[in-house]
Amino acid sequence: MFGLSGTITSADSLRDFVLYAVGHGRFAAGAIRASPWLLGLLAGVCGRGEAKARFLAATVGGMEQARLEELARDFAVRRLPAMVRPEMLARIAEHKRLSHRLVLVSASPSLYLKHWAENAGFDTVLATELAFRDERFSGTLASSNCWGPQKVQRLQHWFDHRPPQALYAYGDSRGDREMLALADHAWLRGAAEMPRLDDWPAKTIAGRSAGVS
C-alpha cells in the first residue's frame, strides 16, 4: 500500500496536474477564488474534501471530460514520472519481484493516477473520484476524499475484510496515519530510513509501537 504525494513523489501531484492543465494564469485566478475554503482548511474550519472540490471547481470546473482525460493521460506520461522518487520506484520493483499485489491509495484524483499506476505495475488505484455531468467536470467529487480514515475504509472494501497475510504500507503525512496503523509493516517518511524488506519482520513491533501512526 503506497501513498503518492510526498511518499512516491517529491511534490503535490494535484497542484502540478492543475497547473499543467490550465496554466499559471487560470491556476492563480482559481486559487484566489477558492481562497476562502483553502484558508478555512488551514484554520481547521473547512474539510479537506470541500476545499479540494472548491479549488478544482475554480480551476478546471466545466472542462470537457474528454479534454480533462486527455490532459490526465499526458500528465501521467510527460510530467508525473519526473516527480517520482527513484528509491520508491526501486521499492515498487522489489515488491513486484516478490509477486506482491500493489495498491496505490491516495487523496489525489484517480483521473491521472490510474494511468501512471498501470504503467508502474500497480494492481489497483484507490483514490478520490471526480464527478462529471453532461460530459463536463461538475466541480464536485464523486466519492469521499480518500484521506485518513477513508483510506482504510477503501482498502477494507477492496480486500473485502480479508486482508493478505502481510500488509506493507508507505506514507509521509497525517493523511496516511490510519493506513500505516492498519499495516503489519509500516514506514513513515522522515521517521526512519526505509528498511530492507527482509529486515522488516524483526523491526515491525518496535516500529509500530514507536508511533508510525
Return the amino acid letter for 203: K
How many domains are contained in the chain?
1
Q: Is 8 a domain residue? A: no
**pLDDT for 160:** 85
Residue 7 lies in a domain: no
What is the per-residue pLDDT for 209? 26
| Structural domain includes residue 3 | no
11-20, 30-39, 200-209: segment of lowest average pLDDT:
200-209
Q: Please determine, for residue 164, whether its predicted confidence score (pLDDT) is greater than 80.
A: yes
> Distance from CA of residue 22 to its chain's centroid?
21
Residue 60 cell numbers, joined: 478546471
Q: Can you give the CATH number for the domain in which 53 is found?
A: 3.40.50.1000
Residue 135 lies in a domain: yes
Q: Is residue 167 a part of any domain in this protein?
A: yes
Between residues 165 and 212, the one the model is more confident about: 165
* 178 falls within a domain: yes
- Give per-residue pLDDT as tens, 54-107: 999 999 999 999 999 999 999 999 999 999 999 999 999 999 999 999 999 999
Q: How confident is the model at residue 201 (pLDDT cuts 50, 70, 90)?
A: low
- Residue 121's pLDDT is 94
In a domain, residue 181? The reply is yes
Average pLDDT taken over every residue of the chain: 90
- DSSP bridge partners of 109: 128
Report strand pairing: 103-109 vs 130-133. Answer: unpaired
Residue 32 domain-assigned?
yes
Does the structure show a pLDDT above 50 at 204?
A: no
Other CB atoms within 10 Å distance of the CB of residue 169: 25
Give the residue numbers spanning the domain of 179.
13-209
Amino acid at site 124:
T
